[in-house]
Structure 1
Amino acid sequence: MSDTTLAEVTAELAALADAKVRAANEKRGDDHGVNLAKLRAIAKRLKTRPELARQLWDTDDTAARLLAVLISRPKQYGRHDLDRMLRQARAPKAHDWLVNYVVKKSPHAGELRLAWLADADPVVASAGWALTTERVAKKPEGLDLAALLDTIEAELADAPDRLQWAMNHCLAQIGIDHAEHRARAVGIGERLGVLKDYPTPPGCTSPYAPTWIAEMVSRQ
């Protein structure tokens, strides 16, 4: 499918747009109406298409950007490309997919993590925390976990929603993966009570850090 054009792909996405899907997505802040299984099927057919991915991203359409992420090669983007794209990705799904599928696999992830953690934009900072959580879980060497807990303890309660969610995930991950910090992580969660009353569907794990930590540790 290497001859598939931008116009063809955007027309296909437009044809797949569904008003009911869009209404459901808009409740979560995502402004598109394409079923994600169908979008992934297009990506599977296209395979990796770096140039088409760039063109799709630049359309400023959320469904096109999600597809762009799926057909990207993470190493195709420089640090400044990724920084620009993150700041453009205001839809939560586009933001999350960009971080998880592209930035985490990029050679620039480490320097972007530090830059984004210090950013004044809470949405950008949330990406820095997402990358930090990845380090906590997979490569904690060199991280000052106690200092991270200090920051979380001081800032979590008053953080804007998306930043709060990302910081809370980091709090839980520290408690789950690092037994020496578990009691403190649980204590911070209990004192702050962040997401304690979050509605959690049956069979799902609560995002309230003490409950989340206990559940995941019990599975280890």
Structure 2
Amino acid sequence: TGPTGADSTVTGPTGPTGPDSMTGWISVSDSWSYASTTTITVPSGAGSLYEKGDKIKFTNNSATKYFYVILVSDELLTVTGGNEYSVENSAISNILISHCESPTAFPDFFDWTPSHTGFSADPTVKARFKISGKMCHVYYCCTAGGTSNATTYYITLPVKPKSHTGTVNWVYPLQCVDSGSFITTQWGKVRIKDNDINGYFYTTPGTGTWTASGAKYADFDGWYEI
């Protein structure tokens, strides 16, 4: 509340609710509503209040849920809670938002289930991600190989990389098993391209292809911009 002027009973306006210094969460008094399992309808002007990478927490269908904001438009937030959380067609209440790196109780990582191309039987994987600011950290680890039916190998990412003017690539070493054997002479490569939901796997630091039969799988850890 602002100061009271001299000889006046008028007081200044009350500002918005600030962050809790202990938890990192900010209370949101606006009304939010279900739009889809990954989108939320919010009041107009969302672009001036929310950003990619923000963390949100609310009650939905009697459960506490956590999400990252991955896209903001004027009246719509696109969110992801990985495999753990989705927005349900039920009231949204007790809304909190955070710009902090690690607000209280927010999950360290979320699981996601990549779609695979290049297989007749997909590998078994543990795939997890987290968003820090506007960077997405992913790790992809195969616990059992898949059966190859193509010389290509690519997966879907949990969040689409940012679009840039010109081509931008994020490249990381890849541990490879091709035709049932580890490749021990060199690292493979994973290539993540801007504005492309797929991550592309190669058996060499260049564009080495895979054997179109037998067991194949790979492991990597990396970051990209969203």
Q: TM-score, normalised by structure 2?
A: 0.30
RCO (CA 8 Å, sep 6+): is it higher in 1 or 2?
2
Which of structures 1 and 2 has the bigger CA Rg? 2
